[in-house]
Amino acid sequence: MAIDRRRLLAVSALGLAATEAVASPSPAPSLWARGVSAVDLRVEPDSPDDQSRTLQRAIEQTAAARVPLMLPPGVYRAGDLTLPTGTRLIGCPGATRLLFTEGASLLSAKDADHVTLTGLILDGGTRPLAGRGLVHFASGRGIKIEHCEMVGSGGDGIALERIEGEVTRNTIVGVAGAAIFSLDACGLVISGNSIRDAGNNGIVVWRSQAGDDGTLVIDNRIEDVAARSGASGHNGNAINVFRAGNVIVRGNRVRNAAFSAVRGRAASNLQVIGNSCSDLKEVALYAEFDFQGALIANNIVDGAMVGVSVANFNRGGRLAVVQGNLLRNLVAAGPAGTDPDGGAGIGIAVEADSAVTGNVIENAPFAGIHLGSGPHLRDLTVTGNVVRGAGIGIAVSVAAGAGAALIADNLIADAAHGAIVGMERSRRVTGDLARNGAERFARLTIGANQVR
């Protein structure tokens, strides 16, 4: 059925007349009024037949004319739909379902700009997807995926490569891989999404090579993240940032992840701010391996092996501010699959070129704050923190080769094995340096701490 812009607009006008007959304060009718119903282009909702060919034709026609394609309530069986530049696919929230039948993905786009998906239920039917997303976009600008629901993906939920755009206010449930996977973004916002029951990761922001990324991961809710494909930290994270510089992770609510709430690896200038995290099985907030620059501030962690870790100075991990975090109820050991040498029962662990200030830590069985590992300690300041109910209040490496640390103006209460204790790896080798003996270590400055 050939159709041009004039015909599309005529169909749209009919929709407007019908809408005006039923007044509503909601913005939804105006969207329908300016679009073309898929039914008018011979797409059949609730048909038992596969609608892929007819729906593909309707998508191409409306995209070419730069008008939205509206999908009325119903189930549409389809697969391998390709979205060209200008596609606007709009459903009725909670009532328009695209059921994946076959192909590499349900919806995909390549080198397509200004593509919008709104108000759709995208159902993967748990069909396997080999390294793909149920929605898979590559190389596009002005991409918007909003107010959609994605269920039962046999791979990732949304997979994005070299995308600039927004993924906002979607619900993603029951995916085998990552709920949202971004590679080499070029101006991406991931915000306000609700993610549950992800097989391997919640939100992933990666780059092929280390470099600027700048993705904003803000105000998402992420719950029940597993690590079904295994690996010690590669999977199992609510938010996973790898090689991506200048990423901001802010205001997210995370509960129950197999490994971390936020895991930054080789991710320079990572900001982790104001997140609320509970029931993490390993390190809650992590900056590790080959990064320079991390700000971890004003977060709450309730339940983890380690609250905050800034690690791997031996691999170039350095330069951080850990400030104003509330960390509590750390556990002394992790479940099977976590790194047995990674430490446990620690509030904050840092190694190099970092300031740890104004944090509150309670119930850390091994140490409230752990400074350095063997010789891997350089230029640390630890000031104005409150540590309550720890095995050691502040543990500091005094091994050969360890560098300078300033520990001052902290309040340490109820530390079973000493307020400030010198360590060689995991072994205590001094008494309580808050009381005496600190003068033996020229690179340590300890003073004005309140101990009780």
122 neighbors 134 (Cβ within 8 angstroms): yes
Which among 82, 140, 78, 71 has a CA at the least distance from the CA of 107? 82
Is 406 within a domain?
no
Q: pLDDT at residue 18 above 80?
A: no
Q: What integer pLDDT is reported at residue 333 of this predicted model? A: 85
How many DSSP H helices and E strands does the chain contain? 3, 42
Instruction: Round to whole Å and give the CA distance between 189 and 96.
Output: 25
29 neighbors 50 (Cβ within 8 angstroms): no
Q: What is the mean pLDDT of the chain?
A: 93
Q: Could you report the per-residue pLDDT of 156-186, keeping only the tens digit for each?
A: 999 999 999 999 999 999 999 999 999 999 9
Instruction: Round to whole Å and give the CA distance between 350 and 308.
Output: 8
Which among 180, 161, 163 has a CA at the least distance from the CA of 171? 180
Instruction: Round to whole Å and give the CA distance between 100 and 126.
Output: 9
Instruction: Round to whole Å and give the CA distance between 313 and 377.
Output: 8
Is 21 within a domain?
yes
Q: Could you report the per-residue pLDDT of 256-282, keeping only the tens digit for each?
A: 999 999 999 999 999 999 999 999 999
β 386-397/149-151 pair status: unpaired
Q: Which residue has the higher pLDDT, 251 or 130?
A: 251
Instruction: Round to whole Å and give the CA distance between 74 and 39.
Output: 11
Q: pLDDT at residue 291 above 80?
A: yes
Is 104 within a domain?
yes
Is 309 within a domain?
no
Q: Could you report the per-residue pLDDT of 39-73, keeping only the tens digit for each?
A: 999 999 999 999 999 999 999 999 999 999 999 99
Q: Could you report the per-residue pLDDT of 73-90, keeping only the tens digit for each?
A: 999 999 999 999 999 999
Is 122 within a domain?
yes
Q: pLDDT at residue 403 above 60?
A: yes
Any idea what the Cα angle at residue 65 is, between residues 63 and 66, rounded to 5°? 60
Q: Which pair of tokens denotes residue 80?
A: 């391998």
Number of domains comprising the chain? 1
β 420-424/427-432 pair status: antiparallel
The percentage of residues in the chain with a pLDDT greater than 90, rounded to a whole number, is: 89
Please state the rounded mean pLDDT for residues 279-292: 97
User: Which residue range is the domain that position 64 belongs to?
Assistant: 1-129
Enumerate residues 6+ apart whose C-beta is below 8 A from 236: 200, 201, 225, 226, 227, 257, 258, 259, 260, 281, 282
Backbone angle region of 410, left / alpha / beta, with phi > 0 → left and psi within -120 to 50 → alpha: beta
Is 70 within a domain?
yes
Q: What integer pLDDT is reported at residue 285 of this predicted model? A: 98
This prediction has a pTM of: 0.92
Is 135 within a domain?
no
Is 192 within a domain?
no
What is the pLDDT confidence band of residue 343, given thresholds at 50, 70 and 90? confident
Q: Could you report the per-residue pLDDT of 89-144, keeping only the tens digit for each?
A: 999 999 999 999 999 999 999 999 999 999 999 999 999 998 999 999 999 999 99
DSSP reduced 3-state for 32: helix
Please state the rounded mean pLDDT for residues 178-200: 98
What is the pLDDT confidence band of residue 27, given thresholds at 50, 70 and 90? very low
Q: pLDDT at residue 446 above 80?
A: yes
59 neighbors 87 (Cβ within 8 angstroms): yes
Q: What integer pLDDT is reported at residue 6 of this predicted model? A: 47
Q: What integer pLDDT is reported at residue 335 of this predicted model? A: 67
Q: pLDDT at residue 25 above 70?
A: no
375 neighbors 401 (Cβ within 8 angstroms): yes
Q: In this structure, is the dihedral angle defined by the CA atoms of residues 223, 229, 233 and 239, taken in order, positive or negative?
A: negative
The percentage of residues in the chain with a pLDDT greater than 70, rounded to a whole number, is: 91
Q: What integer pLDDT is reported at residue 345 of this predicted model? A: 98
End-to-end CA distance of the chain: 83
For the chain, the three-class secondary structure string (H helix, E strand, C coil) is CCCCHHHHHHHHHHHHHHHHCCCCCCCHHHHHHCCEEHHHHCCCCCCCCCCHHHHHHHHHHHHHHCCCEEECCEEEEECCEECCCCCEEEECCCCEEEEECCCCCCEEEECCCCCEEECCEEECCCCEEEEEEEEEEEEEEEEEEECCEEECCEEEEEEEEEEEEEEECCEEEEECCEEEEEECCCCEEEECCEEEEECCEEEEEEEEEEEECCCEEECCEEEEECCCCCCCCCCCEEEEEEEEECCEEECCEEEEECCCCEEEECCCCEEEECCEEEEECCEEEEEECCCEEEEEECCEEEEECEEEEECCHHHCCEEEEEECCEEEEECCCCCCCCCCCCCCCEEEEECEEEEEECCEEEEEEEEEEEECECCECEEEEEECCEEEEEEEEEEEECCCCCCCEEEECCEEECCCCCCEEEEECCEEEEEECCCCCHHHCCCEEEECCEEC
Q: pLDDT at residue 340 above 70?
A: no
Compute how many other C-beta atoms are within 10 angstroms of the C-beta atom of residue 407.
28
DSSP reduced 3-state for 380: strand
Q: What integer pLDDT is reported at residue 341 of this predicted model? A: 57
What is the pLDDT confidence band of residue 16, given thresholds at 50, 70 and 90? very low
Q: pLDDT at residue 411 above 60?
A: yes
Instruction: Round to whole Å and give the CA distance between 290 and 260.
Output: 18
Q: What integer pLDDT is reported at residue 243 of this predicted model? A: 98
